[in-house]
Chains A and B, each alone.
Chain A
Amino acid sequence: MTPQTRKQLNELHIGLIKISQAWAMKKPYDKDRATELRHEAALINHAHYVENIPAYRRLSEEADLLHVADVDLIKKELMSTDDIFKSYDQTWLDDHDYEKMNAWIGSIFHDRININTAGVRTIDQWVDRLTESGITPVYSSGTTGRFSFIPRCEMSWKLFTTAPVSYSAPVWADLGVIPLYQKVLMGPLLKLLHPDTFSMLLKKRGLPGFAGVFMNFRKGNMGIQLVGQELSHLFRKTCFLYDTDLSASAIRIISRGIKNDADLKILESFQKETIEKKDENYMKLIDFMKRATLAGEKVFLFGAPYQLKELSQVMIRENVQIPLKKKSCVFFGGGWKSFEGEKIERHELVEMVSDRLNVPDELIVEGYSMTEVNGLMVRCHHGRFHIPPVIEPVILDEALEPQEGCDLKGPFGFIDPFAVSYPGFIISGDNVRMRDEICPCGMHGPALTEVGRAQGREIKGCGGIMASVQA
């Protein structure tokens, strides 16, 4: 990317973050301007992807769309599914062939990847080598154990970690988590400061008076773990459920089965930390929250829904209730995924948590995002996940054609202007209902009112497949 294009893109990003900050403060915002900025950035990204990302170039060539001046064409022809981030051959991981993994990830990245793979035997080692070379591969694991890797360059990584912080701060202020004087200051600060400076200040100042409790691993590049790790920088005192690194290899082995002694060893150590010591770890969090409360500190609790359920169950079993200090809050997200069998209704979960920690409903907040997107959607009290103006949602129909309208249902896609190093025109695996209107909560713009996994195709007859099988 030329320095001039980079500068141009940077200005567009800043513009979008500024608009998103106004949006987050529930002010009417200039929707047309936001669209204009997003489209301008998307077209720059398109040209950049065509030039530098082989997989995207091939898609554009096949669609005869190397040069595009209309974002609608991108939406119609050039959106990739999130499967692009797992379009590698699984046997390469099985065979420890990380040269091939290099070549593959280079095909969806804006630079070719030639890191040294000598001695690399595990995904974790490969991820470490990539990180050392300035590429941050954020990964997520599906229930089948087929990992998605999203390669972020330095610029993309910075946007990934900075942008959501700068526009979600007003949301927290609105909930009363941030003290009144800071809330009053926030408006002018947002207006005056560069988003990077604002985010830096926020991180530096943090959330005084709060202790952060994260039901995460302290290290590891998995999507939701990273969100927790990034958030943890806002707190002076933190406690993690697992004080270790999350092993990608272990997660893959769990899903795909033990193949050799090395797998067994990895799994044994993972098992020890997550299964054998699970109760001990939860008790450690409970203890930490007790101490923070005694010290007059508020608690910020973060995790996935199944973990909140587990924590509540441990507290019920141990007959523990901790009336957290007023304005303490709980933030959860990530869905139930492979813990679908454990799923309970949202209101039941909120009741459980509220009962054990004395946190009111309105301070038990749910977020929605995905590893591939550089944005965070927070659920308001009217059950809507509000989409920040940094993201352009695209709701598709069954045939994956983009739809137009203010009340749409279908697969959720998005144009992400902040995705610089990988194709950011993505169709997710989620089916949503999106309404574009002023929400009773006061937020403007589009919001998701329903979110669920896209249904598998309907098979009407005896021809079909019961489960995921290789052929």
Chain B
Amino acid sequence: MLKFCRESGLLSEANQVIRVPHLVKGALVFPPELDKKEIEAAFKEKEDDCTYVKTRSAQILREPVIDRQHMTFTGEYIYQVLPLVNPMELIEADIDNLTETLYALSFSEVLSYLDMLLKAITENASLVDYIRDVSLQTAEHPDPYHLGAFEAFPFLLSPENAEASVDNDLSAWGRKGRDFLDGWVEIDAGVFPGISSLIGQGLFKNEFPSGIPFQKASIRAMPTRQLHITAGNAPAIPLISMLRAILTKSAAVIKSPYGATLPGALIALAAYVAAPDHPITRNLSIVYWPGGDASIEDPFFFPNAFDRIVVWGAPQAVDAVRKKAKFTRTVCFNPRYGFSFIGKEAFEENRLREAAILASIDSMIWNQKACIASQVHYVEGTIDQAEDYAKILQDVLAEWDQAAPNFIKPEARGNLKRMKRGKYMSASWYRNRQNGDVTSSVVVMNEPFDMLDHPMCRLVVVRPVSHLNDTLPFIHHAVSSIGIYPEKRRLELRDGIAARGVSNVLPLGQVERIFGGMPHDGMMVLTDLVDWKNG
């Protein structure tokens, strides 16, 4: 793969320019060769914060380089040159071909495909490392997170994970999920024939003296044509989305997000090199376009262009897709956020630091950018106890700052200042700094906090409550996860919290845990991605 890239001038940075290919239904689409002068000219008339330009022959992304030591912008950019996108090429209309090829695969062939993909990745470690290092220059996540995301590829692509996901998520009638993907499964159901059938049998009993013969019930999980509009807050998201498409043997278009186009291109290349003629590769597209570009997206929302649209992310993206995709079933991973509950036992048993460490782990999930990351810690105690907790948490966050230096975008810095010098000026602020710049903060406030103000940049809001039950008015479907300490309290509160719309009610410090076949945002996602058929 590395040799291929070098020879074709793909995925190699030269003079701060990288050419990034698209995968369109298994074919690798090359971007044009543009020199840096042409690229800079394209951005010349644009605003400083412009990140995207479309020319006649290419799309160009501009990502600011971050000084990894000081975690500030250097003023330089890395430019990615990508091919143009023709939306009509991405839509699959040949259903017969799908039925005969991709949909006809057995699940064991899917596992073999993943094995090939994994092999391609592991055998090309030098290219993976190169992509990891090139993309690190512009990564907004702290180094350990970025590096960890690349290390996690083998786990995510592992056949064991795939089997656990499919067999559990799609499991029904006591059968493993793979059975329903492989074909029709006869089930032992007590079938009610229907009113008209009963009337008809009575009416035409002379023609059917022993009744109309009924076949046994069979069901099947039919693959679908999927469009995945992914988010960039965690580099693994495009990969997870793509895996879901592969596991359900579905034809898929994966839209890479800004900030994570390189990992997407790496997987695209691996698929192209490892199994170019495989039906999965032939029906897989991994492309980039700027989210919301109507000239590209509108055709995707035509009736019958796709069977499923999966959208992750930013409120605007979710909202826009919901409005447009009237005719296609949409699976939305809405913007959500997490909380942490620290019971009074933490004070009684003098285990405040333990609780603060565990809660910090939940806050630091993808550096507080993930939908499950904890943004507010509710502390069962007085305002003074909340202040004590905040001081300890400030120290714990300082340790995170050392281990994983934080990058706070200028805009988020502005938001922090807005909070401190405005609506929340009377709250108690505990801020960690490095070279005069805020690296993490804890703010204690007695009154309710408007979540819309949260900049999600290593800021924890601490709210004292006299009883953890007092938090119930703030719990609804927008809250994805709550980590609770201690375990006894979690078990007490779990049902009430879950009933209010929260998807994950877990022990404090364990909110990020994952396993194959687990529910996501209240859904068994693979179950939602396939079409369940009676046949």
Contact = CB atoms under 8 A, between A and B. Distances in A.
A262 interface: no
A398 B417 CA distance: 11
A462 B333 contact: yes
Given A80-B421, A87-B426, A459 B450 contact: no
Nearest to B412: A457
Interface string A417-442: 00000000001000000000000000
B219 to A, nearest CB: 31
Contact of A84 (B312, B336, B425, B473): B425
Interface in A35-78: 55, 58-59
B373 A463 contact: yes
A469 B477 CA distance: 11
Given A87-B422, A91-B447, A461 B415 contact: no
A461 B413 CA distance: 18
Interface in A431-471: 456-471
A399 B414 contact: yes
B233 A463 contact: yes
B456 A464 contact: yes
Interface in A383-432: 396-400, 409, 411, 427
Contacts of B258: 460
Interface in B243-257: 257
Nearest to A79: B421
Interface string A91-114: 100000000000000010000000
Contacts of A280: none
User: Which of A84, A91, A400, A462 neighbours the largest number of chain B CB atoms within 10 Å of its CB?
Assistant: A462
Nearest to A108: B425
Contacts of A396: 414
Given A457-B412, A462-B333, A91 B448 contact: yes
Contact of A471 (B409, B411, B474): B474
Contacts of A81: 417-418, 421-423
User: Which of A90, A107, A400 neighbours the largest number of chain B CB atoms within 10 Å of its CB?
Assistant: A400
A82 interface: yes
A86 interface: yes
Nearest to B457: A457
Given A55-B425, A400-B417, A467-B452, A460 B370 contact: no
Given A463-B366, A464-B371, A55 B426 contact: yes
Contacts of B461: 471
Interface string B142-186: 000000000000000000000000000000000000000000000
A396 B461 CA distance: 26
A342 to B, nearest CB: 19
A465 B315 contact: yes
B454 A465 contact: yes
B369 A461 contact: yes
B259 interface: yes
Interface residues of B, number: 62
B455 to A, nearest CB: 6
B288 interface: no
A279 interface: no
A361 interface: no
A464 B425 contact: no
B414 A462 contact: no
B414 A107 contact: no
A83 interface: yes
A456 B312 contact: no
Contact of A462 (B334, B339, B375): B334
A464 B418 contact: no
A79 B425 CA distance: 12
A304 B412 CA distance: 33
Nearest to B463: A471
A362 interface: no
Contact of A463 (B414, B449, B456, B474): B456
B368 A457 contact: no
A456 B452 contact: yes
Interface residues of B: mostly helix, strand, loop or mixed? loop
Contacts of B376: 471
Interface string B308-344: 0000111100110000000000000111110100000
Given A399-B414, A411-B414, A470-B449, A464 B337 contact: yes
A411 B415 CA distance: 12
B451 A84 contact: no
A82 B446 CA distance: 21
A34 B315 CA distance: 45
A399 B417 contact: yes
A469 B232 contact: no
Contact of B234 (A59, A86, A400, A461): A461
Contact of B447 (A83, A89, A457): A89
B77 interface: no
Contacts of B473: 470
Contact of B315 (A91, A427, A464): A464
Contact of B337 (A55, A90, A458, A465): A465
A462 B525 CA distance: 15
Contacts of B274: none
A84 B335 contact: no
Contacts of B233: 459-463
B418 A83 contact: yes
B213 interface: no
A86 B423 contact: yes
Given A397-B410, A471-B339, A457 B455 contact: yes
A142 B415 CA distance: 18
B411 A461 contact: no
B424 A87 contact: yes
B231 interface: yes
Contacts of A458: 314, 411
B490 to A, nearest CB: 19
A89 B446 CA distance: 9
B451 A462 contact: no
B53 interface: no
B237 interface: yes
Given A91-B447, A399-B413, A471-B448, A463 B337 contact: yes
A240 B370 CA distance: 52
Contacts of A462: 231, 233, 237, 312-313, 333-336, 370-371
Given A84-B422, A89-B446, A461-B231, A466 B411 contact: no
Interface string B459-486: 0010100000000011010100000000
A427 B318 CA distance: 31
Interface in B45-60: 47, 49
A397 B463 CA distance: 31
A455 B43 CA distance: 22
A400 to B, nearest CB: 4
Contacts of A87: 422-426
B312 to A, nearest CB: 5
Contact of B370 (A84, A411, A463, A471): A463
A465 B368 contact: no
Contacts of A427: 418, 421-422
30 contacts: A55-B426, A59-B425, A81-B418, A81-B421, A84-B422, A87-B424, A107-B426, A398-B49, A398-B410, A400-B417, A427-B422, A456-B452, A457-B412, A459-B233, A460-B231, A460-B314, A460-B369, A461-B232, A462-B312, A462-B313, A463-B335, A463-B336, A463-B366, A464-B335, A464-B337, A467-B315, A468-B452, A469-B478, A470-B473, A471-B375
User: Which 3 pairs across A and B sit closest by C-beta, in order of nearness?
Assistant: A461-B233, A83-B422, A464-B335
Interface of A: 55, 58-59, 79-84, 86-87, 89-91, 107, 396-400, 409, 411, 427, 456-471
Given A84-B421, A462-B371, 12 more contacts: A80-B422, A82-B422, A89-B446, A459-B313, A460-B258, A461-B313, A461-B335, A461-B369, A461-B371, A463-B371, A466-B315, A469-B450
